[in-house]
Structure 1
Amino acid sequence: MNKFGLWVGVATLALSATAGLAQDKKTLAIVVKGLDNPFFEQINLGCQKWMSENADSEYACLYTGPASSADEAGEVQIVDDLLTKGVAAIAISPSNAPAMATRLRELAPSVPVMTIDADLLEADHSLRKTYLGTDNYLMGVKMAEEAAKLKPEGGSVCLQLGNVGAANINARAQGFRDTASGEKGIERLTGQKGWTEIDGCPVYTNDQADLANQQMADTFTANPDLDAFILIGGWAQFAPQAYAQVTDQVMDKLKSKELIIIAGDTLPPQTQAFRDGRSHAQVGQRPFEMGYKAPDVMIQLIKGETVEDPLFTGLDVCNGEDAGFCAKN
C-alpha cells in the first residue's frame, strides 16, 4: 500500500499552538477545518512525513484544527491564537472563507500566510501569499463530465455540499453546474442539457458524515425517480457502514445505472465503495501531497522566494472505464 492508501484514526483533540514541538524549532502551522474529518488526517500524515525527513531542520510542522469541522468560529480562534503566540508561517484551510478573511485583515499578521486545501474568496487573495491544493473548479468539471458519460441526456440531480461559506466546495459546485449546463455562472440547473436540480437541493452537510448519510437516505426516499446524486465532497463515504446501509436501499438502481452516484475524494473507504458498486465515479484529491509540500512552501515564503500562485496538486479519477487509483488503494 502506498502513502495515499494509509488509513489511520483521526486525532480527537486539537493541538495547542506549539505543544509537543521542540522548543528550539520554529513552527510551520497547518490549520485544517476539523480533526474529525479523515480527509484532513491525510494532510497530517504528509506533515509528519516531512518532519521525519527533515529532523535536522530549524523548522517543525504543526498540524492542528478544531475538534469538529462544524466549528467555524473555533478554527478562526485557533488561527488567532497561533498568530498571536507566534509562528514562523501558517497554512490555513478556511472553513468559512469570509470569516477567516475578516480576522486575518484585523490581525494583519507579519508572518507569511498561505491557504491549503481550501482558499479564501478571490477578493481576499491579497491576504495570503499562495494557495496549495486542488483546482476545485476543475474537480467539479470532472464530476460533471463523469455524470454526462453515464447520463448523456441529463436528468434530475441533487448536489450535496459542505459548509455554506466553504470556497473550495462552492467552486466545485460551480464547476459542476457550468459544465453540466454548458453555460458560465449558472446558479442552479433548471433544465440546461437536460439537468434539473430537484427541490430541497443542494443539501449542506456541515462536513458531518452522519448528517450526510441521513440527507442521502431522505433524498432517495422522497425522490424515487432521482437520476443522479453528486457528493461534491466525500462526507457520507467517510462513514462506510452508514453509507453501505444507505446505498443498500438503492443498490438495484445503482447496478442498472438508473441512479448514479458521483463522489469527491479517493480515501480507502471510498475506493472500496467504488469497487463495491456503491458509486460510479470518484474524483479524488491528493491531501497527503498537500501536507507534505506545505512546509517547504512556507519555508520558501519565509525566505522571500518567489512562489507560484496557485500551486495545484492534481486529481485522480476512477470510473467504469478505468478504475485507476481506486483499483489499487
Structure 2
Amino acid sequence: MLKMTITRTLMLLLGLLLITSVQAKTWRFAVIPKDQSNPFFQQVKIGCERAAKALGNVECVFEGPNKANAISQHLILEKLIDQGIDGVAFSVLLDSYVARRTLPVLVKNDIPLVTFDSDIDDSTAKRFPNVRKAYIGTNNFDLGVKLGLTLKSMRPEGGTLCIQTGRKDSVNLDERISGIRAALSVAEPKLINPARIRRLVNINGWTEHADCPLYSWSDQERAVKQLQDMLTRPDNIAVVAVGGWPQYHSSYPTMMKQLKVSHPNHTLLVADTTQEQLDLLQQGLSKINVGQKPAKMGEQAIHTLYKIVTDQAYEPQIFTELTHCTQDNYARCTQ
C-alpha cells in the first residue's frame, strides 16, 4: 500500500514537473511577412506582439524583407532557424519558390508552419501534406467578391475596368482578381466554379482594359504612377487595386488632390484599411476601401502555433473578417 502511494506521488510530481517545464520554456515563433515596411504587415506585427505578451511565455520574432522578395524571405527564415525558433508563420509571396526551397527546409528541421495573409496553392499542399498546419487570414476570393460588388454599386452601368495587383504569380492576389471577375459576371459569385472565371470582355457591361491587370510588383511609387496614368485617360476607366500599395506612397495625396480637380468623377476602389488609408478617407482622398484585419492575423498566428507546439487542438483554417470603410464611417469601420 505504501509502495503504491509513493509510486502515485512520484507520478504526480513528474507530471507537475513536465507541466512546469512546458510553462517555463519561452517559445520563439518567427512571423515572416512579404514586406515588413508595409503598413499592413506592421499591423500584423502589433497583433503578433500582443498575443505573445498575453501568453507570457512566447516571443514574437517579426522579421521580413524591406521590399517584397521571395529569396530574401527564405534567407531570413534560414537565419532565424539557425538562431533557434519553435514555429513559423509565413506570408507566401511566391508559391513555386516556397515549394522548392522553404518547405523542404522546414521539413528537415521539423519546424511547424502556418501561413497568414497568403497561402500556398492547392498543388503545393498536396505535394507536402501536413507540412502547412493552418492558414490564418482573409478568404481572398471573398475579398475580391466584395470589391466587385462595391464597384457595381459605384458604377452600376459598367464600363472599362483596370485591376491593379502586385506580382503575376501571387496566390492570394490572384484569388482576389477571380473574386472581382466573378462578382461582375454572375448573380451568385460564390457559387461559380473558379475554373469558369474568365477575363471580362463585354460581360454585364464590363470589359477589362487591354493594358491591365497592372503589376506593381509591390512597388509603391510604381503603383501611384500606374493609377495616375489610368485615371487620367479620357475613357473614364474604373480602377480597382487589390492591395494598398499606391496609398502608402508619399506622392499619393498630391496626385489625388490634382485628380479630384481634373477628373472629379473618377472611379477608384482600393483594398485594405490600415490607419494610413483611414486617414486618406478622412481627408477625402479616397472614396471606399474594402479591407482586412491584419492585427487579428498576427494574433491568431501566434495562438495557433502555441497550440500546435503544446499539443492542443487547433483550427486548420481561420478566416478573419472583412471591413468596408467610407468617408462617412472611417472612424468606426475597423472596430
* TM-score, structure 2 as length reference: 0.82
Q: What residue identity is the alignment partner of 1:238? A: Y
Structure 1 residue identity aligned to 2:207: T
Give the C-alpha shift of residue 206 in structure 1: 1.4
Counterpart position of 1:6: none
1:65-76 superposed matches below 5 A: 65-69=64-68, 71-76=69-74
Partner of 1:178: 182
Alignment of 1:200-211 (within 5 A): 200-211=211-222
CA distance in 2, matches of 1:43, 1:124: 25
Q: What percentage of aligned pairs have identical amino acids?
A: 29
Which residue is equivalent to 2:92? Answer: 94
Deviation at 1:191, TM superposition (A): 1.3
Which string of whole-angstrom CA distances, capped at 9 and with x for unpartnered residues, describes residues 74-118 of structure 1? 112222333455421111001112211222343224121110111
Instruction: Provide the rounded CA distance (Å) in 2 between the counterparts of 1:169 and 1:325.
Output: 27
As a proportion of its length, which structure holds more helix?
A: 2
Is 1:246 the counterpart of 2:247 in the alignment?
no
* Residue 34 (str. 1) matches residue 41 (str. 2): no
Q: 1:278 Cα deviation (Å)?
A: 2.8
**SS of alignment partner, residue 81 of structure 1:** helix
Q: Deviations over 1:134-176 (max 9, x none)?
A: 1111111000010001111211111110122221111111111
Partner-residue secondary structure (3-state), 1:273 = helix
Per-residue CA deviation, residues 28-71 of structure 1 (Å, 9 max, x unaligned), is: 1101111221111111111222233333x1x31111111212x2
Aligned to 2:7: none
Q: Please, which runs of 5 or more residues in structure 2 have no aligned partner? A: 1-24, 187-191
Distance 1:266 1:31 in 2: 21
* Paired position in structure 2 for 1:227: 237
> In 2, are the aligned partners of 1:35 and 1:68 still within 8 Å (CA)?
yes
CA gap 1:283/1:242 in 2 versus in 1, 3 angstroms? same
Question: Which of 245, 258, 267 is 1:260 aligned to?
Answer: 267
1:62 corresponding residue in structure 2: 61
| Worse-matched range after superposition: 243-252 or 147-156 | 243-252
* Distance in structure 2 (CA, Å) of the matches to 1:214 and 1:249: 13
- 1:166 alignment counterpart: 170
Look up the match of 1:10. Answer: none
Give the C-alpha shift of residue 177 in structure 1: 1.0
Query: 1:51 matched to which residue of 2?
Result: 52
Partner of 2:18: none
- Is the Cα–Cα contact under 8 Å of residues 273 and 334 in structure 2 kept in the other structure? no
Change over 3 Å in CA distance of 1:162–1:155 after alignment to 2: same
Partner of 1:285: 292
Q: How far has the Cα of 1:319 moved from its partner?
A: 3.8
SS at match of 1:104: helix
The 3 A distance-change label for structure 1 pair 106 and 294 is closer
TM-score for both structures, normalised by structure 1: 0.84
- Matches of 1:114 and 1:165 in 2, distance apart? 20
Q: Distance in 2 between matches of 1:234 and 1:97?
A: 21
Compare CA radii of gyration and give the structure with the larger one. Answer: 2
Q: For structure 1, which segment, 244-253 or 166-175, has the greater mean C-alpha deviation from structure 2 after superposition? A: 244-253
Contact kept, 8 Å, 1:271 with 1:327, in 2: the verdict is no
Given the alignment, which residue of 268, 276, 295 partners 2:283?
Answer: 276
- Within 2, Cα distance between the matches of 1:303 and 1:272? 41
Once the two structures are TM-superposed, the CA of residue 309 in structure 1 deviates from its matched residue by 2.6
Taking a change above 3 Å as real, the CA distance of residues 152 and 161 of structure 1, as seen in their structure-2 partners, is same
Match of 1:17 in 2: none
The farther-off stretch of 192-201 and 82-91 is: 82-91
Measure, in 2, the Cα distance between the counterparts of 1:76 and 1:154. 42
CA distance in 1, matches of 2:330, 2:324: 7
Match of 1:155 in 2: 159
Is residue 323 of structure 1 aligned with residue 332 of structure 2?
no
Q: Report the 3-state secondary structure (helix = DSSP H, G, I; strand = E; otherwise coil) of the residue aligned with 2:174.
A: helix
Shift of residue 195, structure 1, vs aligned partner = 1.0
Q: Distance in 2 between matches of 1:292 and 1:261?
A: 31
Distance (whole Å) between structure 2 residues aligned to residue 287 and residue 328 of structure 1: 11
Post-superposition CA distance 1:211-270 (Å, at most 9, x none): 11011122234x22223110110111112x411222233214764xx3211111111221
- Alignment of 1:199 with 2:197, yes or no, is no
For the Cα contact (< 8 Å) 1:98–1:121, is it kept in 2?
no
User: For residues 175-219 of structure 1, what are the alpha-carbon distances to aligned partners after superposition, in whole Å with 9 as ceiling and x for unaligned?
Assistant: 111111226542311111111111211111111211110111222
Instruction: Say if 1:304 and 1:53 are closer, same or farther in 2 by CA, change over 3 A.
Output: closer
1:160–1:202 contact (8 Å) kept in structure 2: yes
Q: Number of residues paired by the alignment?
A: 299
In structure 1, runs of 5+ residues without a counterpart are 1-23
Distance 1:37 1:316 in 2: 19
